[in-house]
Structure 1
Amino acid sequence: MKNELNPAKLLAAFEVVMEKGEDTEFGKIYEGVEASTDYDGYNVYLRGNGVELHIGFHNTYDLKYDQAHLRDSFLKKVDALVTDRVVDDHH
């Protein structure tokens, strides 16, 4: 899996979680991915499976994880959120 992430896709996944998710202490959670923002909305966070993804201003991002397999499964979940959304929109 390559390390270049697509910020537009990450933000689309964030929108899916915020739209369909259940409330948590920090934001919303959907399909095992938790989404939250800071108070001004400039910083967006996606987390789950011991992985935290911070998406900042100007489409910068920072991915924190302890193990590569956790990162990969988390990114697959994030990817699936966006893929499922595209499929849903076409029905």
Structure 2
Amino acid sequence: MKNEMESRFLLSVYEKIKQHGVKEGLGHHLDGITAYTDHDGYTLFIEDALVKLRFGFHNQYTYDYAKTEHKEAFDKKLENINKAY
């Protein structure tokens, strides 16, 4: 599902998670969100237990989630990270 979230916002949140989060495995974890890239760094993944966001080439992104309320809660977590850090 394609959404209308701004690319700058996603990149900003990714960088904040990377800077302020705890390194775990291949990614960083902050406030219930994990962020990491693929092997070449062209695709970003930002996820929690219920939602996975894939952001890649040409600023295209897709969400993977089962329920709308999961996505809404996920988006709020991203907004909170963006405001808090």
What do you get for the CA RMSD once the two structures are aligned? 1.0
Aligned partner of 1:14 in structure 2 is 14
How big is each residue's C-alpha offset from its partner over 1:35-74, in whole Å with a ceiling of 9 and x where there is no partner?
Answer: 0001111000000031000000111001110111110000
Matched residues, number: 83
Return the structure number with greater relative CO, CA threshold 8 A, min gap 6.
2
Structure 1 unaligned segments of length 5 or more: list them: 86-91
Q: Whose strand proportion is higher, 1 or 2?
A: 2
Aligned partner of 2:30 in structure 1 is 30
Q: After TM superposition, where is structure 1 displaced by more than 4 Å over at least 4 residues in a row?
A: none
* TM-score, length-scaled by structure 1: 0.85
Structure 2 unaligned segments of length 5 or more: list them: none
- % identical aligned pairs: 30
